[in-house]
Chain A
């Protein structure tokens, strides 16, 4: 079992959600995060002059899938979240020990 943690552009959430759904992954957790990669920050305007904001708003999408499903889920995200410009984000794949569905108590593969 693996957790796919994708840091994506805010405006890419809808395409990513739809692409994941199309390949059969309905469950996901989305949070507002801020961070930076090689893109760095951006300059914003003060009353006169400007200042830099070093961390930019992004969304973090978390999906837990079985090992054999990692490739198609990954493909759905990279295909839809990509613009080709700096700032498209990153994906991390993390091993997951177990999962439990609270309602039924099911665990493992039945829970994701």
Chain B
């Protein structure tokens, strides 16, 4: 098939939008930690832009999307972009250059690694985080991306649906975040109930806004064509984000006050949940999906806090559980009337799709949790996961990076 200019333009623009989401995550997370760790938290996301941006073109793309090996991994044929050029791939996105598909996928790998960092802020050693990130990309992200999206991947073959990364990006990062936080242990003072006051909530809101904007590239770009399906996914995305933001605001209000931090968090939860469903469901189904996401993630966050687990910025509650709900909801609300390449869900007379979705959820949960646990222990053994008590007290901005966010006095 010849290259279609509109499709190529849309996927390239979408790639740039998804790239911007990672600085969005940096602000979203950075504003939520104490002021002494603002830069180090942002640094974790920017480091992913550098590190994963390289590893992806060197071998990550090949392990994920190279020719199938037993449904588990991609082969090494695309190492250093060998054979990935201006012509379309024969199996992925037949109307855009293979390079466009590759770089679109690169941005997904980058943000997925960045998302995990919310679990370990304010105490992880930077060198340990870098090593963990490289290992995690290689041994968790690449296989899972291949299972779900690779041509011949086993979850793709059985018919589990994931339009834009509910399992690959959000369940994988959220569940891994939980495992890594447990291996790493809580921040000093967390168990003693020291308040960990967000240092700059306006930055959190700006970060959430950038994420919301970029998510149109993430979800509507995942149509890989510029047309009706992209528009449908775009609208579904906005509806779910709005429904979840509004719902979270009201939940907070019922408890005490409607907060900006709550609206921003709710929006992200709604965006997460619509991700696997965006191109398979009728856009108006974004309403139940978004409301469900806000309620589920809100109570998962309370549950996490009640059990004293310092998964600091709730990557598990928002991405892990939001992604789980979204993947299940895809099995409930999907319809071939929206996307003939998809399937009908429970509401359209195909309850079996829910089981297929559950298989995808369960396997990615188990694999991501187990593999991350092992990788965390390995990194801890090699270089130590945690900074010293003094470094943690001083703050990671100074102790890990020799910079501070709020410097510059008049003298």
Contact = CB atoms under 8 A, between A and B. Distances in A.
A49 B302 contact: yes
Interface string B173-206: 0000000000000000000000111100000000
Contacts of A45: 252, 256-257, 259, 261-262
A39 to B, nearest CB: 17
B23 to A, nearest CB: 21
B256 A50 contact: yes
Contact of B197 (A48, A49, A51): A51
Contacts of B259: 45, 47
A101 interface: no
Interface of B: 195-198, 251-252, 255-257, 259, 261-262, 265, 298, 301-302, 305, 314
Given A44-B197, A45-B261, A49-B255, 7 more contacts: A45-B259, A45-B262, A46-B198, A47-B261, A48-B255, A50-B256, A54-B195
Among B195, B261, B305, B314, chain A packs the most CB atoms within 10 A around the CB of B195
A53 interface: yes
A46 B196 CA distance: 10
Contacts of A50: 256
A12 B261 CA distance: 29
Contacts of A53: 195, 197
**Which 3 A-B residue pairings sit nearest by Cβ, starting from the closest?**
A51-B195, A45-B259, A48-B301
A46 B256 contact: no
A52 interface: yes
Interface in A34-77: 43-54
B interface: dominant SS? helix
A interface: dominant SS? strand
Contacts of B252: 45, 48
A47 B300 CA distance: 12
Interface of A: 43-54
A45 to B, nearest CB: 5
Nearest to A45: B259
A51 to B, nearest CB: 4
B279 to A, nearest CB: 29
B195 A47 contact: no
B302 A48 contact: yes
A46 B252 CA distance: 10
A51 B194 CA distance: 9
Nearest to A54: B195
A21 B192 CA distance: 47
Nearest to A43: B256
Contacts of A51: 195-197
Contacts of B257: 45
A54 B197 CA distance: 11
Nearest to A52: B195
B305 A48 contact: yes
Contact of A47 (B197, B256, B314): B314
12 contacts: A45-B257, A47-B261, A47-B262, A47-B301, A48-B252, A48-B262, A48-B301, A48-B305, A52-B195, A53-B195, A53-B197, A54-B195
